[in-house]
Structure formats: C-alpha cells, structure tokens
C-alpha cells in the first residue's frame, strides 16, 4: 500500500486526517473534480532541483510554479523542474506523480506557496492516483517545517 509510510508517520505524531478515495485521475484538475475539492484547496507536489539538489514545491492545483520567483524563496542560484527520471526511484512506495508533500520523509527541502499556508486544511495525493489525504495545515506545517513564500502564477485555462 503506497500510503502506509505516510499514515504511520501521521499516526505516530497523533495527527487527525481523512483519506479520500476517488476514481483514478492523473492531472490536478481531474483529481480535484473526482474528489469534489476546489482546485485552490488541493495541493500538488512539483519536483524541483535547487542548485542540483532535489526538493519539493507545493502549490495549489489551480496555480503553477514560477521558477524565477522560486529562486528568491529558496535562495538558490538555479532552480529548475526535475525530470521524472531524476526522481522516480526516490519514492519507491509511490506511484509516479502522486508523491505526498512530505519531503522530510525523503530527505528533501519543501517549499510551500503562501496561498496554501492561508488555508485551514490541505489535501494532497497520498502516494497513489486514487487516494488523497486531508489534514489541518497547522499539522502539515508542524511536521514538515516547509519554507513558505510567493512563487506561483494562476493557471490560464
């Protein structure tokens, strides 16, 4: 079960959460629609490299990462999107593209868009394309200790 490691971590830290099963979906828009969650409330994990080091950028599904703004938030000289081949083996228990935003479980820094930090709850892929986890943003922040900043742009539809 891809989500076991994350659930054990949450349970071990006495975090209350809800799992949301949904039909198989791959894009953030499909996931939000399938799970009946507004795109602005669904967090997507975008894999990046900061000066060559793998990290996570976590943004609302309705927005996209602005790499130049993200450079300022990370303090890095070069921030770029990671390729699937560069990160696929770092998450052996997760389906590709369904990694939860808990970089601390994988030895990675996490950067969160300030828009998500304003929400009471956060929902995100739980390691598969058919399950989400929803929990209090305050619990997510306490466990992950992400760096928060402005580095997103609205998606054009």
pTM: 0.92
Give the model's pLDDT for residue 28.
Answer: 81
Give the model's pLDDT for residue 157.
Answer: 52
Q: What is the CA radius of gyration of the chain?
A: 14
Q: In this predicted model, what pLDDT tens digit does every residue of 96-127 receive, in sequence order?
A: 889 999 999 999 999 999 999 998 999 999 99
Mean pLDDT calculated for residue range 124-142: 94
Give the model's pLDDT for residue 1.
Answer: 40
Mean pLDDT of the chain: 91
In whole angstroms, give the CA distance from residue 138 to residue 13: 13
How many CB atoms neighbour CB 120 within 10 A? 8
Tell me if 66 sits within 8 A of 113, measured CB to CB: no
**Sign of the C-alpha dihedral computed for residues 105, 76, 68 and 145 taken in this order:** positive
- Identify the helix (H) or strand (E) that includes residue 114: helix 114-117
Give the model's pLDDT for residue 37.
Answer: 84
Give the model's pLDDT for residue 25.
Answer: 80
In whole angstroms, give the CA distance from residue 52 to residue 62: 27
Give the model's pLDDT for residue 44.
Answer: 93
Give which of 100, 123, 98, 120 is closest to 35, Cα–Cα: 123
Residue 39 has pLDDT above 90, yes or no: no
Q: In this predicted model, what pLDDT tens digit does every residue of 9-32 receive, in sequence order?
A: 999 999 999 999 888 888 887 888
């Amino acid at each position: 079960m891809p989500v076991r490691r994350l659930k054990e971590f949450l349970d071990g830290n006495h975090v209350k959460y809800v799992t949301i099963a949904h039909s198989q979906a791959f894009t953030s828009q499909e996931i939000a629609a399938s799970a009946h969650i507004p795109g602005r409330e669904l967090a997507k994990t975008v894999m990046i490299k900061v000066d060559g080091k793998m990290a996570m950028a976590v943004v609302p599904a309705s927005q996209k990462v602005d790499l130049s703004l993200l450079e300022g938030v990370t303090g890095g000289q070069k921030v770029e999107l990671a390729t699937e081949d560069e990160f696929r083996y770092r998450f052996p228990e997760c389906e590709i593209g369904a990694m939860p935003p808990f970089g601390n479980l994988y030895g990675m820094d996490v950067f969160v868009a300030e828009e998500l930090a304003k929400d009471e709850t956060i929902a995100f892929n739980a390691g598969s394309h058919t399950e989400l986890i929803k929990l209090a943003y305050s619990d997510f922040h306490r466990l992950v200790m992400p760096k928060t900043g402005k580095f997103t742009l609205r998606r054009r539809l």
